[in-house]
Amino acid sequence: MKPSRDIARLIEIMAALRDPENGCPWDVAQTFATIAPYTVEEAHEVADAIARDDLDDLKDELGDLLLQVVFHARMAEEQSTFAFPDVVEAVTSKLIRRHPHVFGDIGKLSQDEVNGVWARIKAEERAAKTSRQERRAGDHPARAGLLADIPAGFPALLRALKLQAKAATVGFDWGAVAPILAKIREETDETAHAVADGDKARIQDEIGDLLFAVVNLARHCRIDPETALRGTNLKFERRFAAIEAGLAGRGKTLDQSSLDEMDALWNEAKAAEGTTKR
């Protein structure tokens, strides 16, 4: 089967891979649950390619993410639930519905007005979704409440951000950065006390509170915490690679070196980047 730029060919390939008689045994054995971790992984790899500004890699990673959509859609089609065209219709309908200032007749809006319209439409969609879930659940109704539509399966950092932002829509929020910084200091002190006591469960709890407060600070500063942490991770990798290179230049390996040697090379790498922050 030849490669193609046509999405229809990709859908055909997926159907062939899932064919019970002539398909790939691995692909045939998969379910929504077994594929879900790969879907999350591919989304992270897309973000990683963007962070590295590698557009060639981004093209490949977007293809891998698209494959996940096609895979899930194919499994749903096999169950006569929905198919790939239904996925396309759902997202195109949503985009048109959420942009009445572009596709409707309400005229041009300011950024603040657009945000208001978007929030109103999303609230209507959320209410309709909750109603559908309750009808399907019968004796097991869906979770209710303002935060109920934030998926529990989100990565913890992202979910913390979403929870805080949603609570802020009804005024449950800090009014400024200063009290958040004070909260972070408070949580740091409480973490230190837990560490001193050696209570592992309490240490975990306090570290969670500290991380949650730091996410709140990032949100108030209009910084995406995931992007910030990803940047720091890359910086750490870059500087640690400089330590390895520096040691190799001396004919040494990491396990042959002291912490003082590695720390000195870290500082050299840091200085070479034009910063004095560890």
Question: What is the residue-wise DSSP string for 136-198?
Answer: HHTTSPPP-STTTTS-TTS-HHHHHHHHHHHHHTTT-S-SSHHHHHHHHHHHHHHHHHHHHHT
What burial class does residue 53 get, using C-beta atoms within 10 Å of its C-beta: 0-12 exposed, 13-18 middle, 19+ buried?
exposed
The answer on pLDDT for 137 being more than 70 is no
Residue that the structure tokens 């089967």 belong to: 1
Q: Give pLDDT, residue 125.
A: 81
Residue that the structure tokens 């790498």 belong to: 269
Q: How far is CA 235 from CA 43, 71, 224, in A?
A: 21, 35, 17
Question: What does DSSP assign to residue 253?
Answer: -
pTM: 0.64
Q: Give pLDDT, residue 227.
A: 87
pLDDT in tens, 205-241: 999 999 999 999 999 999 999 889 988 998 999 999 9
